[in-house]
Structure 1
Amino acid sequence: MKPALLLLLALLLRIPAGPAPVRVTFSPLTKAAYLAAKNTCVLTRPVMTFPLKKQHGRITIPTAKGNRVFRDNNIDEENPDWEKFAYRGYLPQFECHLIEHNHYEWSNFILLDKSGQKTELYDLPRYSPDFKSFVAISGGIEYWAYPNSIRLFRFENDKWREVWKLEPSIEPMTWEPNDVYWLSTNVLILKKRMWNGNHEGNSYTYAKLTIQE
């Protein structure tokens, strides 16, 4: 075998296999079925500690890439550039810090891991029963500043990685996620707020989400 081919083969063998594809299927539920399932949902809360404190309007977090600093700006709250940060704790299981970011027109949450990687969310993570996944939703029809999305993350190789995302029909948008719960490590139930016809934001439908790999 030629040296160039041998080198190519060696490089290919070093490349780790990519993650298995994730699909999520939707099955409709009646309101009664949704409420019954909700009573059996699994609520998981990882251990959280508070090793850091905000000082002089700054949160300083050490990472492998150096300190990450989240700094309030000292301007009036009515100024469109106003922003403020709050430290919400450290999750030792994932070696991540949770920061709340409040802006003049919106707010979100930041997961910052030990490598310095940031994961930005518009809802608090809702963890699966085995703590290997979380889902985050964002309703983005009623208020323009938020995306309309459902996102699924997996904890792999010491990092949170987005493995699936749904942005309900963009034009026109007909529904937004309103609430979500885990029933098991691969099944969730979803409450959808509808925006169509004469039911703009005041009616709901329900679904079961099954994660398939």
Structure 2
Amino acid sequence: MDAREKILEAAAELLATAPAAEVSTRAVCEAAGVGAPMLYRLFGDKAGLLAAVVDRGFEQYLASKRAARPGEDPVADLKSGWDNHMRFALEHPHHYRLMYSPELTVPPAAVSEAHALLHAILERCAAAGRLTVPPVLATQIIMSANVGASLSMLTRPEQYPDPGFSARLRDAVIDSLTRPAGPAQGDGVPVAAATLAARLRAEPHESFTPAESGLLQQWLETLAGN
């Protein structure tokens, strides 16, 4: 095990028994058997170290999401993604709280990747005509609700004793942003425009020049309310 792995392993073990972000670099160095200069050379500072610890902890979770094969129903995939996110949070409370701690001044790369993976599923929902708002907005709403619910259940478990709370919130949020499969009825121009915009992003039309595609995309996103 190299010095970087020793430091990350030591920090993760200390984090498991300490409040979020309350792990000293001195304690990490002592546990890893390295000097402070080595830690600062590899991670820059404490914030950089903690961001790396979070990314390491989330790697297995994100790897499973990267490898997931899209199902026939993108909305079902969306709900499954919510459940997986919640499950990871409850099984790895220290890493999860740290990931969204305001004390973590260096944003972990895992935050951006999780956001991008969610957005990709919502692009599929839009292309299938299942999304009633632009994918960017839907991503913000769902991620905020999923993270908020996870942190609430972690930090105030006594206030959330109902094991079905997460599923109820999941359905309330996602059902408000999607519509059932099948022919559109009364969805109007915004949904049609959002659907066409998503399909154009997924499969650019060979008859259009890049400039024409960009202009059409802009018009469609405007009609969709993006």
TM-score, normalised via structure 2 length: 0.23
Which structure features the higher share of strand residues?
Answer: 1
Which structure features the higher share of helix residues?
Answer: 2
TM-score, normalised via structure 1 length: 0.24
